[in-house]
């Protein structure tokens, strides 16, 4: 993994010249990583998620927005994704949907996913500190019943995407923790949140999160397992 000063260039190069899509989840892995990068550029946790239907088509996408404007602890990528899905695509059956996310879901997001009716979850980087997807054996009966019908596993993707997803989180972990503590203490001003992302600019940065997500979704042929 490159040193800190080369980190931004290393990530940008992977997006500019990605490895060939040889594995089933490579397209969705790349999109999750691009959304995660955007979130980091905006001063939020670098996590991205997408929802895909049974025809391997993108339904909707989202990125973490915890520090968008002010601290909102519930605005994880999966929560934003499910808010969007349940608001705009409520008529779609859940059985054929797959949720892809760059980081292993936490306790909050795992509960929300189970209650959403989505049956398949695929993630890139494991989260040893907060990930809950690998620790569902102690759930209460009702939630355990939902978990029994849900498949959670790592994506079948090139290792570079898992490396990017994990490194984005590691690179920002200390600054994110500091900002959460400041928010708990009532010391995080609205203007502070734009100062805590990755340094510099990127071809993926600039504009609102909605605008950036839309720009990615406008390329339906670019994403997916085939091609």
Alpha carbon 109 to chain centroid, angstroms:
11
In the block, residue with structure tokens 């708990």: 184
N residues, the chain: 227
Active site residue 171: no
DSSP letter for 20, please. Answer: P
Q: Report the 10 Å Cβ neighbour count for 72.
A: 14
Q: Are 23 and 157 in contact (CB under 8 A)?
A: yes
Could you give the CA distance from residue 177 to residue 188 in angstroms, rounded to a whole number?
12
Alpha carbon 56 to chain centroid, angstroms:
18
Q: CA of 122: how far to CAs of 82, 86, 213, in Å?
A: 15, 19, 20
Q: CA of 174: how far to CAs of 164, 169, 178, 182, 197, in Å?
A: 17, 9, 6, 12, 11
Could you give the CA distance from residue 40 to residue 136 in angstroms, rounded to a whole number?
29
Q: Are 76 and 110 in contact (CB under 8 A)?
A: no
Query: What is the three-class DSSP state of 61?
Result: strand
Q: Which of 78, 80, 158, 167 is catalytic?
A: 78
Q: Which residues are identified as catalytic?
A: 78
């Amino acid at each position: 993994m490159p040193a800190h000063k080369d980190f931004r260039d290393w990530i940008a190069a992977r997006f500019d010249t990605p490895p060939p899509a040889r594995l089933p989840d490579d397209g969705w892995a790349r999109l999750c990583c691009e959304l995660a990068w955007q979130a980091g550029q905006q001063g939020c946790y670098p996590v991205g998620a997408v929802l895909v239907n049974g025809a391997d088509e993108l339904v909707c996408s989202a990125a973490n927005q915890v520090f968008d404007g002010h601290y909102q602890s519930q605005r994880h990528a999966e929560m934003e994704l499910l808010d969007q899905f349940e608001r705009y695509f409520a008529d779609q059956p859940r059985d054929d949907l797959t949720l892809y996310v760059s980081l292993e879901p936490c306790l909050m997001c795992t509960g929300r996913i189970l209650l959403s009716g989505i049956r398949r979850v695929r993630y890139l980087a494991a989260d040893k500190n907060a990930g809950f997807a690998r620790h569902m054996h102690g759930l209460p009966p009702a939630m355990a019943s939902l978990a029994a019908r849900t498949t959670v596993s790592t994506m079948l993707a090139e290792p570079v995407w898992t490396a990017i997803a994990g490194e984005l989180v590691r690179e920002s972990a200390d600054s994110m923790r500091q900002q959460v503590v400041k928010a708990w203490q009532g010391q995080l001003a609205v203007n502070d949140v734009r100062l805590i992302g990755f340094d510099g600019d990127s071809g993926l940065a600039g504009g609102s999160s909605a605008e950036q997500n839309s720009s990615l979704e406008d390329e339906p042929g670019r994403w997916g397992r085939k091609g």
